[in-house]
Structures are given as C-alpha cells and as structure tokens.
Structure 1
Amino acid sequence: MTRPAVFRQPRLLIVGCGNVGMRVLPLVRGRCRVLALTSQPERCAELRAAGAIPIVADLDRPETLHRLRGLADWVLHLAPPQPDGAEDRRTRHLVAAIGKVGRLAYVSTTGVYGDCGGELVHESRPVAPKNARARRRVDAERVLRAWALVNGTHLSILRAPGIYAADRLPLKRLELGTPALRPADDVYTSHIHADDLARIAVLALFRARGGRVVHAVDDTRMKMADYFDAVADAFGMARPPRLARAELQQVVTPTLLSYMSESRRLDNTRLKRELRMRLRYPDVAAALRSFSGTIANQKGN
C-alpha cells in the first residue's frame, strides 16, 4: 500500500526559530514536516499557527534535549552561540543530542574572516576571527564539520553578514545621532535581507553541495556610513555625523566599535551558481525602494 505523501516528507527541525526562522516556515510548509525548537513555552501557540510542531527545550540546558534524538531527518541550525566563552556550547549540546541526521544547514557569520582591509573575499579564504563572537562561530563550524564527517551528514554552512528588513533597520541609532566613521576611516560592510536569507537557508537544504561554505550575501558593496545615510534619506531622518576613528572610539561602545573595525567585501558567485539563488532584494537600495509603503506608514505615525 502506498504511504500518504505527508509520511514521505522529511522531518525538518528548525533550531533557533526567531525572525529568520519564522520567515522560513511558509517556505517549507507542504515540503517538510516541520518541528521548531523553542526555549519559551509561551511561543508554542505562535509556532503552531505558523505550521510547526513546537518542541520545548533549551540549548543551554542539555538535559532538556533528550527528545531530539532521532526526531528529525534534516536540521536548520539558526541559533547563535551563547554570549560568553571561547566555544559554542549550544552547538556542542545540539549535535550531542540529535544523533544522526541526513542534512544540516548552519547559518554562521561573515565575521569569521575578521578584518580583510576591504578586500574581496571568497569562501576559500582562511578564517581569522578577531573577537569572541566570531571565534565562537568558528568553533561551531569546526564542531559541525567533525560531527558531520563521523555521522555521514550532508552539511552546508551559510556565512551571513548584517541581516536587515523593513522592521530591522538602524532607526534607533539614527534617532540617537550615533556617529559614523568619516570616509577615510570607514569600512566596507555586506548585507542580506531577512526574506532572502530565509530562502537561501531553504535552498541550502535542498541544493547545497555537502561540506560547502556559501556566502549568504547580496550584491551590496558599500561602506557602513553610506548604509546609514541611505536609510536616513529613505526615512527623512538626519544623516549621522562623521568622525575620525580616534574620535569615534571615545564615544561608542567597544562592541559597536568592533563592528566598525572590520572591512571586507563578500563574493556571492557560489550562492548564485550552486544554490541558483535569485535575490529578491539584490542590494540595499532596491530594498529601501520596496519599503516605500512601510516608510510612509512610519512617517504617518
């Protein structure tokens, strides 16, 4: 007897089902039986309404993860590392709990490259993390590679830059008038719209080559302060003041300064050739134009 189609669908576990994960859900409904890991019981109703079966567990508490073993065929790992330490304990807890799975896609960060002096970076470039956040991401990638090799898992790693959307823009920073770097000191930064990142994550599960790194970035190659200027112009806000680096480091937090101390441009040829990704928002300018209705509503409020 032929089994119903629903039973032939892969069981997909989404780990870290936040903003991007919620954008993934409508893309995989009907293609996968979706489970979503959450540490917040109050989110269960939201996840069910979006088409996922919620699994309440906490990556920071490995004793809660025993239910995950053998639960999924595929895993989409979107959870960031915990905010301290040299290792990504959450990823280590996850792979220890889930056992063997057929496919896993992990969203990492382009921060693993460190400062590249504005050079164009390809996926083959060695990692050189300069801060603890990036070192934890490198640790997660290495743990996943070793685990995938032992378990025969088809692993893909997506390195994503700053994620933005109509509801994820630096408007508060602009309101506060936080300074940006003058052109001579400014850094190149890369971007990806949250909707495009969700689509890339799904394509990675279905199309990525095993063991490959792919840059999940759009075509934008602009300096950071120019990005702030573009957002400010779109929303009719004042552009941020520009300061020399020596002046800026006296008035911003060390964390913010670290983001403004690494310059790189990311090549996305592999994204387009191997995943056959067609960006809905090819660059920030195109996205800001598409936000016109949202911008008008926000101005009206």
Structure 2
Amino acid sequence: MPSNQCPLGALPARFRRTRVLIVGCGDVGQRVAARLPAGVRVLALTSSAERVAALRSQGLVPLRGNLDDAASLRRLAGLADRVLHLAPPPGAGGRDARTRALGQALLRRTRPRALVYGSTSGVYGDCGGDWVAETRRPAPRTERALRRLDAEAAVRFLGRAGGVRASVLRIPGIYAPDRAGGTPRERLAKGTPVLRAEDDVYTNHIHADDLARACIAALWRGQAQRVVNASDDTALKMGDYFDLAADLYGMARPPRVAAEEARGQLSLMVLSFMSESRRLLNQRLKRELRLALHHPTAETGLR
C-alpha cells in the first residue's frame, strides 16, 4: 500500500480538508499519519522540542504541549475535526489526569467530531482463558490497567458532555518487524523462559500496521460510546507464540518452567502478563469498522 493511501479508500471531497490531531505520535501514530491521504492535515502534539523537526519532516504540523500541564493544552481547542489519543497515562496511581486535561481542552471551543482512544485489553484482567467480547465487565488487576480504565471513562464523559463521537480501541500486544522491540527476537536471544503448557496463558496480538488502519477506521466509522477489541485472529498461548517465532527465525525455543519457578526468574512486569489469560473476540473490528486484517495471524505477521 502506498504510504499516502488511506485504507478507507478515497475520501469524499468534503473530508479532504479534515484536520486530524494525533496525541501521542509515537510508532503507531506515525503509521497512522503515513496512511492518511494527502488532503488530510495532520497535527501532532509533542512535549519535546527535539521532536519538532522530525515530525515536520514527515509532513506533520507539530504542536508543543504537555499533557501534564493543562495550561499548555489550551491551544488545542477547536483545532481538529478528529482526534486520535494514543498517549500513555501517568506512571503511577489509579487515575489518568492526562486524558482528563485533554478532554477539558477539547471542550473549550468547537468540539471535534470524533475522538478515538487507544486503551489496553488489560482492563479485562484475568479471564481464565475465556473468549472475551467488548460487553464483558472490566476487572483490571494492575494500577496500569486501572489508569487505562479511568481514561476510558474520561473519554466517554467527553463524548456525552460534548456531543463527540468517542470510541475506544482495546489493544493487546503490538508487534512489527520494523518496530522497536516489536518482535520476540531479543527475548528469544536472551533465553528468557516461558511457562510450561499446564501453567501457560492465552495472549493476544495485533500487527502495528493493522492497528494503524484500525485507528483510521475508528476515526471515520467508530460508533459513539463504543468499545472495540483491536486484535487479530490468533488464539495462541504465550509459550506457543514464542515457539512459533523461534521456529520462523531459526532460533532455539525458549525453556519452559513452572509458574512457581518463573516467579524467581522474571520481572514483575513480565509476570503480570503471565498471570492473565484471555482470547479477544474481534467481530466489531471486522463488522463495524469493516477492517480486513492484512496480518490476520501472528504467523503471517511474523513472517
């Protein structure tokens, strides 16, 4: 797909002057910007002066602002027709003041037509390996997931209070060969263990390019106050995923250990992922956002 081709096809003439604001314009945000048609003006919020030139070189309009400084966000009011919010929450606590500050800024003047927030599938907590639809009640088990759920609530409030078509993408593990840390190679090279089959958990994935296309689809097609699981079709346990990657890369499969043994070898972050098991259903992604995945399984994406 050419870099300037939108997965929604050619946009109608009335959309060609659309202004899209990307908040949190990292890897996925830049993939989104590259896939929007040339007629769409893309604004990117950044708190880093060092990033301004790089964003401008990609054809984006950089805007200086810091989500931790509400006053610096005032200039965002009325600037964009559609907003994509991919910025992470603060690093501690159970609330996301950053998303609330962004929401207040967007409510000051003419509100955007659409707001899409990139959340995490971690808000579901441990589901015991069940298939999980968006109607399942969230049960976050970590502060990180609690912050994301708080951000979702702020986004929904903005939708109700401001008449904005607000939607949420719940995102699992993101991978891509050209994404920093986007493949299992580094972990396989270190020989980091995975759980033995009887202790293993289901994990979920989305290729970064497909996630970018899902973000664009949600900006134009997302339903108001709607949650969508942005996941591919893969139904693999974590150990099987790393075995698959090892076989594709011609590397040694990781060692398998019992859950008790893993607690003494792995970081708390890795252990938190190993303590939750779920399989995401993605019918809304396909039916409502009408997204045809380019990488429907981890095997095709890793190849």
TM-score (norm 2): 0.91
Task: Give 2:271's aligned residue.
Answer: 257
CA gap 1:232/1:67 in 2 versus in 1, 3 angstroms: same
Q: Equivalent residue of 1:196, what SS?
A: helix
User: Is the 1:14–1:75 Cα contact (8 Å) retained in structure 2?
Assistant: yes
**Secondary structure in 2 aligned to 1:12?**
strand
1:130-279 matched pairs, under 5 angstroms = 130-167=141-178, 168-279=182-293
Deviations 1:51-98 (A, max 9, x none): 210001111222221211111121000111111111012111111122
Structure 2 residue corresponding to 1:55, chosen from 57, 63, 68? 63
Indicate the residue corresponding to 1:104 in structure 2: 115
How far apart are the structure 2 equivalents of 1:213 and 1:85? Answer: 23
Contact (CA 8 Å) 1:6, 1:33: kept in 2 or not?
no
User: CA 1:102/1:242 → structure 2, altered by over 3 Å: closer, same or farther?
Assistant: same
- TM (norm. structure 1) is 0.92
> Residue in 1 aligned with 2:74?
66
One-letter amino acid matched to 2:229: H
Matched positions, count: 285
Q: 1:204 to 1:31 in 2, by over 3 A?
A: farther
* Rounded Cα–Cα distance in structure 2 between residues aligned with 1:35 and 1:164: 25
Deviations, residues 102-122 of structure 1 (Å, cap 9, x unaligned): 110111111100000000001
Task: Give the distance between the partners of 1:153 and 1:95, measured in 2 at CA.
Answer: 11
**CA distance in 2: counterparts of 1:205 and 1:102, whole angstroms:** 9
Q: State the 1:8 CA deviation.
A: 5.7
CA deviation digits over 1:194-237, x for unaligned, max 9? 00000000000111111111110000000001111111222222
| Identical residues among aligned pairs (%) | 55
* Aligned with 1:26 (options 22, 29, 34): 34
CA change 1:156–1:42 in 2 (3 A) is same
What is the RMSD computed on CA atoms of the aligned residues?
1.4
Task: Say which of 23, 31, 38 aligns to 2:46.
Answer: 38
> CA deviation digits over 1:280-299, x for unaligned, max 9?
0000111122xxxxxxxxxx
1:87 aligned partner:
95
1: CA distance, partners of 2:157 / 2:72: 24
Structure 2 residue runs without a partner (length 5+): 1-12
Q: Output the CA distance in 1 between the equivalents of 2:274 and 2:266.
A: 10
Please name the residue that 1:15 is paired with: 23
C-alpha distance in structure 2 between counterparts of 1:193 and 1:181, whole Å: 24
Stretch moving more, 259-268 or 228-237: 228-237
Unaligned residue ranges in structure 1 (runs of 5+): 290-301
Please name the residue that 2:133 is paired with: 122
> For 2:197, what is the secondary structure of its paired residue?
coil
Contact 2:183 2:302 in 1 (8 A): no
Partner SS state of residue 71, structure 1? coil
Mapped partners of 1:82, 1:245: distance in 2:
30
In structure 2, what is the Cα distance between the partners aligned to 1:232 and 1:262?
23
3-state DSSP of counterpart to 1:86: coil
Deviation at 1:6, TM superposition (A): 9.0
CA contact (8 A) 1:29 1:51 kept: no
Pair 1:67–1:185, CA change in 2 (3 A): same
